[in-house]
Amino acid sequence: MTTIDTITDEIRTLSDEAGAHGDLEMVAICTRALAGDAAAIAECVRVIESAEAPEGAVAYKYADPTEDACWLYSEDDVRDIEREDPSLIVRVECSRS
Q: Kindly report, residue by residue over 60-85, the tens digit of the pLDDT.
A: 887 788 887 788 999 999 999 999 99
What was the pLDDT predicted at 94? 60
| 3-class secondary structure, 42 | helix
Please compute, for residue 33, the number of CA atoms within 13 A of its CA located in the half-sphere on the CB side: 26
Starting at the earlier edge strand, list the strands of the sheet with 59-61. Answer: 70-72, 59-61, 89-91
Count of Cβ atoms closer than 10 Å to residue 33 Cβ: 23
| 3-class secondary structure, 17 | helix
Q: Kindly report, residue by residue over 21-44, the tens digit of the pLDDT.
A: 888 999 999 999 999 999 999 998
- pLDDT > 90? residue 4: no
